[in-house]
């Protein structure tokens, strides 16, 4: 193949993956080709990074070892129809479309078509700090490992069974939005307590980032770390009591479950 990676769709996630790969040196720019229905957007990305620009989705697919479909779930069927005839069994199709199962893509590509992999990235991949869950039952050996290494350029890669992709979509896919709400709420609370808006936001962002890093680097359970902050009769205990009265922990868990239910509906064509 002329290119290692062809990317169909250069929206936020598609462009984030391209930028991450090039910035990390995981893949040379001349080994990547991109295409998008919004041709000026794809052309701007190609000029910025020095990657190749395809005239059509079929051209990008035919030229690439790995074909990454970074389009919205509703557009997957049309893209697969367009590129199917250009693909061979020694290629691999990688989809990041939420709720679109491997079986649905296999049906569109035919039994003798390329292998299909599902990946669920999240938006922190934009800054190289993403989580990318991979379901790859059709691919093994070096072929899979090479892809996992590429994806690792923009974040942590976790391999899961496809039956867990709805749960992954809900937790790490939708989860950043829930954390953004938490950051916003912390900043609003700080402003209500008298802090200037920019200072409150700065403190809220770093507090969340630092707390996450503490969990990650110490390996301690969040409850243990919470208890270490919460001195009896102190300020943290007062705040935690308020969160408990409002059902904060239950609400966050319920939000993940609601997102998982919606992902399952999408997976079944709902």
pLDDT digits (tens, 9 = 90+) for 236-268: 999 999 999 999 999 999 999 999 999 888 877
Q: Which residues contact 206 (CB under 8 A, 6 or more apart)?
A: none
pLDDT value of position 270: 62
Per-residue pLDDT, averaged over 61-68, amounts to: 95
pLDDT, residue 137, reads 92
Burial of 63 (0-12, 13-18, 19+ CB in 10 A): middle
175-267 placed in CATH 1.10.3730.10: yes
Q: What is the mean pLDDT of the chain?
A: 93
What does the pLDDT read at residue 110? 87
Q: Which CATH class is domain 3-165?
A: alpha beta
Residue 50, by phi and psi: left (phi above 0), alpha (psi -120 to 50) or beta? left
The three-class DSSP label of residue 63 is coil
Q: pLDDT band for 1, please (50, 70, 90 cuts).
A: low
Both tokens assigned to 238: 């007062």
Q: Give CA–CA dist 111/105, Å, rounded.
A: 10
35-38 long-range Cβ contacts below 8 angstroms, 24+ apart = 35/6, 35/7, 35/8, 35/9, 35/10, 35/59, 35/60, 36/8, 36/9, 36/10, 36/11, 38/10
Residue-range domain boundaries for the chain = 3-165, 175-267
Distance CA 202, CA 206 (A): 6
Please write the tens of the pLDDT for every residue from 103-138.
999 999 988 889 999 999 998 988 889 999 999 999
Please, which residues bridge with residue 120 across strands?
Answer: 133
What does the DSSP 8-state code read for residue 169? I
Query: In the chain, pLDDT over 70 holds for what percent of residues?
Result: 99
């Amino acid at each position: 193949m002329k290119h290692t990676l062809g990317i169909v769709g250069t929206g936020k996630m598609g462009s984030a993956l391209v930028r991450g790969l090039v910035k990390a040196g995981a893949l040379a720019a001349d080994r990547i080709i991109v295409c998008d229905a919004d041709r000026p957007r794809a052309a701007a990305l190609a000029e910025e990074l020095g990657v190749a620009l395809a005239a059509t989705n079929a051209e990008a697919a035919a030229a690439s070892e790995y074909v990454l479909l970074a389009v919205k779930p509703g557009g997957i069927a049309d893209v697969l129809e367009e590129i199917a005839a250009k693909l061979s069994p020694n290629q691999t199709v990688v989809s990041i479309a939420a709720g679109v199962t491997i079986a649905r893509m296999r049906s569109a590509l035919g039994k003798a078509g390329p292998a299909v992999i599902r990946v669920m990235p999240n938006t922190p991949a934009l800054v190289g700090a993403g989580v990318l869950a991979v379901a790859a039952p059709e691919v093994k050996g070096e072929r899979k490992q090479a892809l996992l290494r590429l994806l690792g350029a923009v974040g942590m890669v976790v391999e899961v069974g496809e039956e867990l992709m709805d749960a992954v979509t809900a937790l790490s896919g939708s989860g950043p939005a829930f954390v953004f709400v938490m950051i916003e709420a912390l900043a609003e609370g700080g402003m209500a307590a008298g802090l200037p808006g920019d200072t409150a936001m700065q403190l809220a962002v770093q507090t969340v980032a630092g707390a996450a890093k503490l969990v990650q680097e110490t390996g301690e359970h969040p409850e243990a770390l919470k208890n270490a902050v919460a001195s009896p009769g102190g300020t943290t205990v007062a705040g935690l009591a308020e969160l408990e009265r409002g059902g904060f922990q239950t609400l966050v868990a319920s939000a993940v479950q609601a997102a998982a239910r919606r992902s399952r509906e999408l997976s079944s064509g709902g």
